Structure 1
């Protein structure tokens, strides 16, 4: 089933013609619970991994925990539509606290499924994203891992890893991704209007326009940031959203080149400020037509993952050399 973004509630270039010069494209991935295969793009599905290749491990010390959830119990509870039961952490300590912990596969994306995916080193056209299942230090920092591959070369492997290594306990239920198939869709987007992302005079006019519409139509009136610039959820390319941090300059640590946005992993597919982005196929048929159809987490948070306090995780790569280390930014 396709997912179709509705026309924007306001033709933003008619109000601000100069935005045409800043228009960009992003691919909304629209992950939805399903049964993705190893050779498909997905969130939370089986990763295409040669059986003779070592699985990535996080070797840093991990924060001790007191309670958590067993992955299989999380899966069973989701299948039954109930909350999983938390358990005391094993007396032996945090799995991985005294040794390496296997990273958890979050997503893989093939360019054959998402043509807008930027190239990796040596023409790599498959990207795989991983996260350490545990937090680090007093600030609960996270560690991520990115693996580039050439899809055709990888698919020639004689055998593939059937079951990746997995830690026996997770601190939070939302550490475990729900297997999701993707429904890629390209849409027009515009930069976040703050700081130096657009000319200062244009940002001032956008802010004034937003204020005037809110005063005339109330707080639910469409606004530039929520309804006209950047969609929520998982997406490839386009512009980063900066709702929590404000705009940041992201430079490559290896060569100082300004980095480009590879992809965004969103905690939510929709929230109170983004109803206008709900796909046509999932919109409430009522006259207002802004609420999602009944579906609970499968629509609002299909992947079940959480990044920070319901923020966006932006993955930046170096356009001068995609082999340089990526940067992971929560905003």
Structure 2
């Protein structure tokens, strides 16, 4: 089924004509629970991984586990299928340093250029990108490690055999470390920059802020705001502008050549919140109801992938436009 973003509640360029010069495009991915295969673009499904290629492991030191219990991946899957909470199990060796123990990465998603409009090419024209995450934390700030694997899709699909099942850790700290298999429904929409600091001219940001205040004064807290309803859609998306709700705007430059980096993709735990519910597709709404009350199927559309990034932030993945082979950067915002 396709997914269709409703028309914006306000024609933003009619209110702020200057924004026409900043109009961009982003591809909303609209992940929804399903049964994707290794040759599909997806979140949480099997990655297209040649059988003779080792699965990546994280060899960096990990923080000691302070949790006394965890969740077995297979039990998480069984509990989700049954619609119940997974049972927690005792964590062997809780509090041990964990240094020197290689940990297999968890495959989060993969996207083919043939499926996703606007997906930037990788090194050597690679048109398949795979996103993985270490399930353990690093350093005093409990940082996460991500891995971006680029491939030439046609070449990879000609492999003699493929990895049947990726290796997994026995226990995960939280259920939201394991993605729910989701198919994607790519849809291109217009997008506009986050309005803060120097992302737009100062005078325009001041007018946007004043307009937002007037909207709230007239329509109450449910009135559409620029950041929530008109600029950047929530959820998984490719290209477009980053949202900066938690950090404020950041200048992201390539560590190798100092070129300003571009947003490759955004991964998100939530597909909506009260401020951004107007972006929920028509196909996921009850036309007889309005606002948040019109959204059907609860968690399956509001949090379809079951993943969490930071404290419910967006994970922005940036790459270098001058040389996609330069190391990517990861920003939680």
- The Cα shift of 1:20 comes to 0.3
- The RMSD of aligned alpha carbons is 1.4
> Which is further off, 9-18 or 286-295?
286-295
Pairing of 1:150-189 with structure 2 (within 5 A)? 150-189=152-191
Q: Give the TM-score taking structure 1 as reference length.
A: 0.97
Residues 329/92 of structure 1: CA separation in 2 closer, same or farther (3 Å cut): closer
CA displacement, residues 240-266 of structure 1 (integer Å, 9 cap, x when unaligned): 000000000000000000000000001
Q: CA deviation at 1:94?
A: 6.5
Q: Does the C-alpha gap of structure 1 residues 292 and 30 become closer, same or farther in structure 2, counting only changes over 3 Å?
A: farther
Corresponding position of 1:148: 150
CA contact (8 A) 2:272 2:279 kept: yes
TM-score, normalised via structure 2 length: 0.97
Query: 1:137: Cα distance to partner?
Result: 2.3
Q: Shift in Å at residue 294 of structure 1?
A: 3.5
Instruction: State how far apart, in whole Å, the 1-side matches of 2:164 and 2:96 are.
Output: 26
* Matched ranges for 1:250-269 at <5 A: 250-269=252-271
Deviations 1:10-53 (A, max 9, x none): 00000000100000000000000100010010000000000111
Distance 2:96 2:176 in 1: 18
Deviation at 1:299, TM superposition (A): 0.7
How many aligned positions are there?
A: 331
Offset at residue 290 of structure 1 (A): 3.8
Unaligned stretches of 5+ residues in structure 2: none
State the alpha-carbon separation in 1 of the partners of residues 55 and 35 from structure 2: 22
Which runs of structure 2 are paired with 1:270-285 in the superposition (5 Å)? 270-285=272-287
SS of aligned partner of 1:49: coil
Q: Distance in 1 between matches of 2:42 and 2:138?
A: 27
Q: CA deviation at 1:92?
A: 7.7
- In structure 2, the CA distance between the partners of 1:233 and 1:33, relative to structure 1 (3 Å rule), is same
Mapped contact 1:95–1:167 kept (Cα < 8 A): no
Q: Give how far 1:292 is off.
A: 4.9
SS in 1 for 2:111: strand
Structure 1 residue ranges without an equivalent (≥5): none
C-alpha deviation, 1:267, in angstroms? 1.3
Q: State the shift of 1:288 in Å.
A: 1.7
CA contact (8 A) 2:191 2:240 kept: yes
Counterpart in 1 of 2:71?
A: 69
Q: Which residue of 2 aligns with 1:5?
A: 5
